[in-house]
Amino acid sequence: MTSTQEPLKRVLVTGGAGYIGSHVVFALQETRKYKVISIDNHHNSHPKALTRVSQIAKSNLPPDATEQDKESAEIDAVTADLTKEAEVRAVFEKYGKGGIWGVVHIAAYKAVGESTEIPLTYYQNNVGATVQLLQLMSEFECTRFVYSSSATVYGTPPKIPIPETTRLQADSPYGKSKVMCEQIIQDLTAAEPQRWRAISLRYFNPAGAHPSGLIGEEPRGRPGNLFPLLAHMAVGRVNPDLKVFGSDYPTPDGTCVRDYIHVLDLARGHLLALNALAEDSPIFASLAEDAPKIKAYNLGKGKGMSVLQIIEAMRKATGFDYKYEIVGRRRGDVPDLTADPALAEKELGFKAPHSLEEMCRDLWNWQTKNPKGYDDE
């Protein structure tokens, strides 16, 4: 078959085996326009996640797939630690100067509580490794960068829904590490406005899984987040003592409100961001030549959902009769974290169409097919 296909663009995804990373790899492979290289040290993930994503991509190939299409379904999965310069350098050396088109930097430590106990470890892994990655990118002429930021950069926001113009004021070392990285990227794009293009994506609360049930979230120990906790309870993996922290918040039912987004919608937001770093992209077109080419976007649904609503939705999806106890407020909890996603919609064409029911359905499908996670087989 004679092909008019554009050559594949090589994209390095850090943390590609993780919960969000594996879904981002799926979204990139779905286009058959990117060739994914993943760096992950499996600190918090299983290598099997990448085998499974590749399996999904292969099974989605059309019958008349070209050799290039087949190549796009393979992942160059590198087990390496981003804090170790030599290990990351080897990946850039393999592809040479200009050989990697862009980087989606997802790898990080993400436990807020733990970050207050071992802040230096968090700063080294989240900030130190990011600086080093950017240095290597610069050296190897790879200057397109999508960064995994978080709604946690807003701390306790003064206005709901939260626009991107909100001041950044994170409370925990984890959140501060995200703010610092955003600032470092800002300074870099300001120093070399003709060279660098970057987008920070501020995620709200990802939930759900790929509908195949092949990839999903696999937290270690008792899950700290509500959705995986409810799924683990329903599958009998953890003790079902459920505590709801506070019912006297100024929200419709008194419990905390969060903006949950299906992980596939979030993943597709990365694809839009990556596409927007191309030369002909309109998002930087109106900027002066010497203005930094950097943007930050909220990725959320723009719809808040309360703890009690989530429990009810998971009850419907799983059939499990959750019994909960309402206890006092938890220190550090913010009543409402709902995104204003209007900017991402307008500039990137971002949409988050999946419903709460679909998030619950897909999470439950993943959990029942993999009750013990990736270690099942």
Ligand X SMILES: NC(=O)c1ccc[n+]([C@@H]2O[C@H](COP(=O)([O-])OP(=O)(O)OC[C@H]3O[C@@H](n4cnc5c(N)ncnc54)[C@H](O)[C@@H]3O)[C@@H](O)[C@H]2O)c1
Instruction: Spot the catalytic one: 147, 174, 297, 374.
Output: 174
| Binding-site member from 106, 168, 170, 296 for ligand X (CB under 6 A) | 106
Task: Determine how many CB atoms are found less than 10 A away from the CB of residue 374.
Answer: 18
Pairing of strands 197-203, 34-40: unpaired
Using CB under 6 A as the binding rule, whether residue 173 contacts ligand X is answered as no
Does 107 interact with ligand X (rule: CB under 6 A)?
yes
The residues with which 104 forms a beta bridge, in sequence order, are 13, 146
Q: Would you count residue 370 as binding ligand X (CB under 6 A)? A: no
Q: For ligand X, which is the closer residue by CB, 39 or 75?
A: 39
Joined tokens for residue 209: 């899984």
Residue-wise over 267-295: b if at least 16 C-beta within 10 A, else e?
A: bbbbbbbbbbbeeebebbeeeeeeebbbb
**Residue 123 makes contact with ligand X by CB under 6 A:** no
Rounded Cα distance, 36 and 12, in Å? 6
290 half-sphere exposure, CB direction, 13 A CA radius: 0
Distance CA 289, CA 310 (A): 47
Does 44 bind ligand X (CB under 6 A)? Our answer is yes
Any contact of residue 15 with ligand X (CB under 6 A)?
A: yes
Nearer to ligand X, 19 or 154 (CB): 19
Question: Can you give 170-206 as a three-state secondary structure string?
Answer: CCCHHHHHHHHHHHHHHHHHHHCCCCCEEEEEEECEE
Answer yes or no whether residue 45 interacts with ligand X by CB under 6 A. yes
125 binds ligand X (CB under 6 A): yes
Among 36, 37, 78, 129, binds ligand X (CB under 6 A): 129
Contact between 82 and ligand X by CB under 6 A: the answer reads: yes
174 has catalytic annotation: yes
Contact pick of 51, 83, 186, 247 for ligand X (by CB under 6 A) = 83
> Which residues have a catalytic role annotated?
174
Binding-site ranges for ligand X (CB under 6 A): 15, 17-21, 39-45, 81-83, 106-108, 110, 125, 129, 148, 150, 203, 205-206
